[in-house]
Amino acid sequence: MIDAQKHNQTTGSGETGDSIDLLRQELTQEIKRLNRLSSRGILALSLFLVISILAWWGFPLFPAPDAVIAVLGKPPTARMVSIVLLLYTFSATILSLTRMIAGIEHRSSFVHVGFLTGFFLFYYFGKALNDNYWAVLGSGITILGVESYRIWSFCSEGIAKSREDMEYVNRTGRRPPQE
């Protein structure tokens, strides 16, 4: 009886048990990959918070701003950095929202951590970090919060789709129909 069911499943769909097992493995691997990927936004946000704490303490491991200014020259004014920060915050948020709407898999929000760290450093070397700390922190939490939600949302949808496909394969013994 069981052999007849297997025969009906494999001959009706043209697939062997090995290809179905391979499909199950692929779906399981995709679910694992998306689970790992879903935490990248939170990891980037956590890294940014660590950098923010270092900025709050005045970057104790870095040389004094005067020493860096002597080597590299005068940094841009705090006003100019603030304008660029405002433009960056707006642009990064819009970019993240459009990626979310389009369903694009863009894995990394660590690039944003690098840019935001750069803003902290420009303010630090321009001796304006105390006045602008909260602006960078607020921008960072906004950008990385949206990015984190976007990555989590994308992965959740992918996991749900893969689980539905796995359920279909287990129920019918065939590949799920392509959309």
Per-residue pLDDT at 34: 93
pTM of this structure: 0.83
Per-residue pLDDT at 20: 84
Which residues of the chain are under the pLDDT cut of 70?
Answer: 1-15, 179
Domain assignment present for 3: no
Domain assignment present for 139: yes
Rounded Cα distance, 70 and 59, in Å: 18
In terms of residue numbers, what domain contains 66? 15-172
Per-residue pLDDT at 15: 62
Rounded Cα distance, 102 and 78, in Å: 36
Domain assignment present for 179: no
Domain assignment present for 104: yes
Domain assignment present for 22: yes
Per-residue pLDDT at 89: 98
In terms of Cα–Cα distance, which of 33, 9, 32, 12 is closest to 21? Answer: 9
